[in-house]
A and B are shown apart, each in its own frame.
Chain A
Amino acid sequence: MKRPPIRRLVALFAGMMLAMATILFRLSILQVSRADAYQTEALDQRLHTVTLPAARGEILDRSGEPLAISLPARDVYANPRHVTDPRGEAEKLAPILKEEAKHLREELVADGTFVYLARQVPLRKAERIERLELAGIGFLESTRRVYPAGSLASHVLGFVGVDGVGLSGLEVQYQKELAGKPGERTQETGLTGQPIVGGVDVELAPVPGVDLVTTIDRDFQYQVQEALEEAVKQNAAKGGTVIVMDAHTGDVYAMASYPWFDPNDFSSTEPARWRNTAVTDAFEPGSVCKVITAAAAVEEHAVSLDEGFAVPDQMQVGTFTIHDSHSHPVQEMTIGDIVAQSSNMGAVLVAEELGEALLATYLSKFGLGQATGVGFPGESSGVLLPLYQWSDTSLATMAYGQGISATALQMASVYATIANGGEWVRPRLVRGTVDSDGTFHSAPHSPTRRVVSERTAKIVTRMLAYAVQSGTGTTAQVPGYQVAGKTGTARIPKPGGGYYTDRDIASFIGFLPASDPEIVILATLDQPVTIYGSVAAAPLFQAVARYAIERLGIVPATRVSLPPHALPVG
Chain B
Amino acid sequence: MSQPAKKVRPGEPAPRVRRSARSAPSVRPARRMVPAPAPGSGARVRVPGSPRPAQTVARRKGTAGFLILSTIVAGSMVLGLVTLSVLLAQSSFRIDDLEQRVSALRQDNLELTHEQATLSAPGRIAGWARRHDMRLPDEIQFLHVSKAGPTAPAGEADELARVERKLDRLLGADG
Residues of A with Cβ closer than 8 Å to B?
A: 65-66, 69-72, 123, 146, 148-152, 218-219, 222-223, 226, 480, 546, 549-550, 555-556
Contact = CB atoms under 8 A, between A and B. Distances in A.
B114 A222 contact: no
B114 A71 contact: yes
Nearest to A550: B140
25 contacts: A69-B113, A69-B114, A69-B117, A70-B110, A72-B107, A72-B110, A123-B107, A146-B114, A148-B114, A148-B117, A148-B118, A149-B117, A149-B121, A149-B122, A151-B123, A152-B122, A152-B123, A218-B122, A219-B122, A222-B123, A222-B126, A223-B122, A546-B140, A550-B142, A556-B144
Interface in B72-111: 107, 110-111
A499 B158 CA distance: 61
Chain B residues touching A, majority SS: helix
Nearest to B118: A148
Nearest to A556: B144
B55 interface: no
Which 9 pairs of residues, A with B, have the shortest CB-CB distance? A148-B117, A222-B122, A149-B121, A148-B118, A66-B117, A555-B144, A219-B122, A71-B110, A148-B121
A55 to B, nearest CB: 9
B120 interface: yes
Given A66-B113, A69-B114, A123-B107, A149 B123 contact: yes
Contacts of A152: 121-123
B114 A150 contact: no
Interface in B125-141: 126, 140
Contacts of A549: 142
The size bracket of the interface on B is 10 to 19
A72 B111 CA distance: 9
Contacts of A219: 122
Given A226-B126, A555-B144, A556-B144, A65 B110 contact: no
Contact of A65 (B120, B140, B142): B120
A162 B32 CA distance: 108
Interface of B: 107, 110-111, 113-114, 117-118, 120-123, 126, 140, 142, 144
A223 B125 CA distance: 12
Contacts of A72: 107, 110
Contacts of B121: 148-150, 152
A555 B118 CA distance: 32
A71 B111 contact: yes
Nearest to B146: A555
B107 A65 contact: no
Contacts of B120: 65
Contacts of B110: 69-72
A480 B123 CA distance: 29
Nearest to B110: A71
A486 B38 CA distance: 146
Contacts of A71: 110-111, 114
B15 to A, nearest CB: 54
Contacts of A69: 110, 113-114, 117
A265 to B, nearest CB: 15
A195 to B, nearest CB: 12
Given A65-B117, A148-B121, A219-B122, 18 more contacts: A66-B113, A66-B117, A69-B113, A71-B110, A71-B114, A146-B114, A148-B117, A148-B118, A149-B117, A149-B123, A152-B121, A218-B122, A222-B122, A226-B126, A480-B142, A546-B140, A555-B144, A556-B144
Contacts of A123: 107
A541 to B, nearest CB: 17
A278 to B, nearest CB: 20
Contacts of B117: 65-66, 69, 148-149
A94 B51 CA distance: 94
A71 B113 CA distance: 10
A65 B118 CA distance: 10
Nearest to A220: B122
Contacts of A555: 142, 144
A71 B117 CA distance: 13
Nearest to B140: A550
Nearest to A479: B139
Contacts of B118: 148-149
Q: Choose among B113, B118, B122, B126 the residue with the greatest number of A CB atoms under 10 Å from its CB.
A: B122
A521 B79 CA distance: 79
Nearest to A221: B122
Contacts of B142: 480, 549-550, 555
Q: Choose among A66, A123, A151, A226 the residue with the greatest number of B CB atoms under 10 Å from its CB.
A: A66
B73 to A, nearest CB: 30
A356 B31 CA distance: 146
A549 to B, nearest CB: 7
Contacts of A218: 122
Contacts of A556: 144
B120 to A, nearest CB: 7
A539 B98 CA distance: 59
A244 to B, nearest CB: 15
Contacts of B126: 222, 226
A546 B113 CA distance: 31
A171 to B, nearest CB: 17
Contacts of A70: 110
B100 to A, nearest CB: 14
A148 B126 CA distance: 15
Q: Choose among B107, B110, B140 the residue with the greatest number of A CB atoms under 10 Å from its CB.
A: B110
B127 to A, nearest CB: 11
A546 B120 CA distance: 22
A151 B123 CA distance: 9
Contacts of B122: 149, 152, 218-219, 222-223
Q: Choose among B107, B113, B117 the residue with the greatest number of A CB atoms under 10 Å from its CB.
A: B117
Nearest to A122: B111
Contacts of B107: 72, 123
A431 B140 CA distance: 31
B123 A150 contact: yes
A226 B120 CA distance: 17
A546 B139 CA distance: 10
A70 to B, nearest CB: 8
Nearest to A218: B122
A162 to B, nearest CB: 19
A546 B140 CA distance: 9
